[in-house]
Structure 1
Amino acid sequence: MGIGGFIGDFNMKKLSIIFSFFVLLLASFFTTDLTTTQAANLNYTVSPDLPDNQADSKISYFDLNVKPGDTQKLTFHINNTDNSDHKYLISINRASTNVNGVIDYSKHGTKADSSIQADIEKMVPQPKTVSVPANTDKKETFELKVPEKEFKGIVLGGIQIKLLDSPTAKTSDKKGVTINNQYAYVIGLQLQEGSEKFQPHLNLRYVKSKQINYQNYIIANIQNDQPAIINKIKADAKVTKEGSEEPVYKLEKDGLDMAPNSNFDLPVSTDNTPLKSGNYTLHLKLTEKDKTWNFTKDFNISTTKAKQMNKTAVGETNTKNNWPMMAVLAFLILIIAALLTIIIKSKNKK
């Protein structure tokens, strides 16, 4: 190979490397920074001792037939299979519904829904921490006190057993906030005093704009005011300017579940567009099997709130605020175009 050919190949290789570098750099502007975490090995298990008043002995959680004024002791086991001692937080929590439309047993001491008749957190002890030696199965007992006043339907909660002294998997969000991922087991705790069945009933309590994890949403607070679980709800929502039929934001979601006597915020995404102040209307249709609920509710977004939320939101499409990044992207695109032209001309000379 001649000196000229060697230099040509060398330049081509350098150009290819530089080109690849700029492509990767450009791609980094369009991708989200992802942190992969590996789930910790949970070196413990939990299991309940089902009592005589268990309604269904084939299931692995407490499903109890109780009477007004009953008091009984319930036991479960924490089996620490690790070679080290560990501490665990035990909390008995009222079932709630989270923003994903999933029944959640992980929160203690949150505000109960206004429709609740009997609060399971008032029937059991406060959360506590226990230590379990290495390779030991420890039995834990707590007392359940059923209210004197009769309740209807089901009361639902969960016994959460959370490992406290293990390394937590950490991720960071776009604002630099560290999120600790902790791991826990939950044993369901369901109480009922009779066999009466309740028909599903849903309410729309209020509508407002809200920021969740630095993203702007229009949230519709939905309430299940009955002492029964409601499964597989389908939601169709659209937000329009007041007096208009044209949707500004919309949502279609199915498979939503709700805990008895609970409410949750159904989030309608603003699709990363800045909020605009003004009067709006939410049109919401909820479907469960053969039942349908239709709601229409007006709401307002003030100028002050729109500015405040847009300022703290992450990822909004706003060319006015993003012009520095757009300028950098334009510069990188020009460099890539120039490199491509040089590479093509070099190949043509050959």
Structure 2
Amino acid sequence: MNNIKAKMLLIASFILFIFSLQHNVYAAKVGGIAMEPVYSKNQISKNGYLNPRVKPGSYQNFDINILSMSDKNQKITVEPHTAYTSDGISVAYDKDKIISKSNMKNDFRFLFKNKSITFNLPAGKTYRVRFTAKIPNEEFNGIIMGGFYITNNDALEQGQDTGTMINNKYSYVMPAVLNEDGKKAVPKLTLDKIDANGNIVSSKIENKKSAYIDSMSIYSKITNSSGKVVSEYEGKDKSVAPNTNFYLDNLMYSGNIRPGKYHIKIVAKSTDPYKWVMEKDFSVSSAQYIGYIIESNQWILYLILILLLLILILIIFIIKKRKEKNND
């Protein structure tokens, strides 16, 4: 039994190391458990995560062995989560609900009728979790990407010496990638819209294909109507989940963006290699600029309201005085 525990712990550590590099999986530090994927007969390759080749309309089991490495009983919850692209432009799995996108044809989470399994994990024991997915009847190209998000519910306990509350909550992900035909879809990045507020310009970028983008570098430059560079951004080792979008933020050099016309150019490259060049003109109106200044400085709004109130009182006072004078 000790040899089995040691072997599973080694496998879990290897999985954690690999995916912290390749998939930016959250929870780099595992608590009192170790995990092992149980490969099905249709597993494409034994690569440390669940990667079955599925058929349209079929049912697919996903099994995970969870081993307690703690001397205490634990209450564990496992949930299937759809992979998404975080604000830091990396693949993440920690949200249980993803806002529906028009281009997200196959959402990993909704392949499962059972959205959550909670169980008690005795100290030193192993528990096998099984989720069953209903594969869409319609064939899909590329991949469906998600993961099984594992958390413990015994988050707080009282320290014996200090009496203070200790946070023992941890989380971990077992990634899963589904493929049907074995063909790799070609990712496609497009620039959707631009929001300019204050000193930040946010560009919404969409990956409209069922393809994963890894080791991506991205550069953006904003110029004003005179051609002067007013903002630049450069990022490396980014990753994008299939059929998702993300926001690229440019910080303006000179504070709040002024009213006027602007142009943004974004160049993204992956190691596949793929390259995307996205450009767009946008403008900031005086009304937008003033609106943001007032919104971010509430005291200005209050001052305007007070001035309007004083003017109203003054007008009423003048009208009243004139009426009194006419009556005399």
Same fold by TM-score greater than 0.5: yes
Match of 1:69 in 2: 57
- Deviation at residue 300 of structure 1 after TM alignment: 2.8
Alignment of 1:290-305 (within 5 A): 291-300=275-284, 302-305=288-291
Match of 1:233 in 2: 216
Counterpart of 2:95 in 1: which secondary structure? coil
Match of 1:203 in 2: 190
Task: Name the CA shift for 1:184/1:299 in 2 (closer, same or farther; >3 Å).
Answer: farther
Counterpart of 1:63 in 2: which secondary structure? coil
Match of 1:217 in 2: 200
User: Within 2, Cα distance between the matches of 1:258 and 1:40?
Assistant: 23
Unaligned runs of 5+ residues in structure 1 are 1-38, 169-179, 313-320, 322-350
Tell me if structure 2 keeps the 8 A contact 1:283–1:297.
no
Match of 2:248 in 1: 266
Task: Name the CA shift for 1:66/1:217 in 2 (closer, same or farther; >3 Å).
Answer: same
Match of 1:281 in 2: 263
Task: Name the CA shift for 1:51/1:41 in 2 (closer, same or farther; >3 Å).
Answer: closer
Counterpart of 2:109 in 1: which secondary structure? helix
Match of 1:136 in 2: 125
- Deviation at residue 183 of structure 1 after TM alignment: 2.6
Counterpart of 1:303 in 2: which secondary structure? helix
User: Within 1, Cα distance between the matches of 2:111 and 2:38?
Assistant: 19
Task: Name the CA shift for 1:250/1:166 in 2 (closer, same or farther; >3 Å).
Answer: same
Matched residue type, 1:306? Y
**TM-score, structure 2 as length reference:** 0.71
Match of 2:136 in 1: 147
Tell me if structure 1 keeps the 8 A contact 2:259–2:283.
no
- Deviation at residue 304 of structure 1 after TM alignment: 4.5
Please point out which of 101, 117, 121 is paired with 1:113.
101
- Deviation at residue 265 of structure 1 after TM alignment: 0.6
User: Within 2, Cα distance between the matches of 1:298 and 1:253?
Assistant: 22
User: Within 1, Cα distance between the matches of 2:202 and 2:135?
Assistant: 35
User: Within 1, Cα distance between the matches of 2:154 and 2:197?
Assistant: 35
User: Within 2, Cα distance between the matches of 1:137 and 1:286?
Assistant: 44
Matched residue type, 2:209? Q
Task: Name the CA shift for 1:280/1:127 in 2 (closer, same or farther; >3 Å).
Answer: farther
Please point out which of 160, 172, 175 is paired with 1:185.
172
Task: Name the CA shift for 1:195/1:167 in 2 (closer, same or farther; >3 Å).
Answer: same
Tell me if structure 2 keeps the 8 A contact 1:205–1:221.
yes
Matched residue type, 1:143? T
Match of 1:24 in 2: none
User: Within 2, Cα distance between the matches of 1:233 and 1:41?
Assistant: 27
Tell me if structure 1 keeps the 8 A contact 2:143–2:178.
yes
Q: Which moved more, 1:269-278 or 1:64-73?
A: 269-278
Match of 1:337 in 2: none
Task: Name the CA shift for 1:43/1:305 in 2 (closer, same or farther; >3 Å).
Answer: farther
Encode CA deviations 1:213-255: one digit per residue, 9 max, x unaligned: xxx52111111111111223322212233x2311222112222
Matched residue type, 1:68? P
Alignment of 1:1-350 (within 5 A): 42-57=31-46, 59-124=47-112, 125-167=114-156, 183-209=170-196, 217-241=200-224, 243-270=225-252, 273-288=255-270, 289=273, 291-300=275-284, 302-307=288-293, 310-311=296-297
Counterpart of 1:65 in 2: which secondary structure? coil
Matched residue type, 2:77? L
Tell me if structure 2 keeps the 8 A contact 1:55–1:64.
yes
Tell me if structure 1 keeps the 8 A contact 2:200–2:256.
no
- Deviation at residue 69 of structure 1 after TM alignment: 0.8
Encode CA deviations 1:300-341: one digit per residue, 9 max, x unaligned: 3613542256449xxxxxxxx9xxxxxxxxxxxxxxxxxxxx
- Deviation at residue 159 of structure 1 after TM alignment: 0.6
Encode CA deviations 1:273-303: one digit per residue, 9 max, x unaligned: 3454554332222233353313123143613
User: Within 2, Cα distance between the matches of 1:188 and 1:41?
Assistant: 15
Counterpart of 2:293 in 1: which secondary structure? helix
Unaligned runs of 5+ residues in structure 2 are 1-27, 158-166, 300-328
Number of residue pairs matched?
Answer: 258
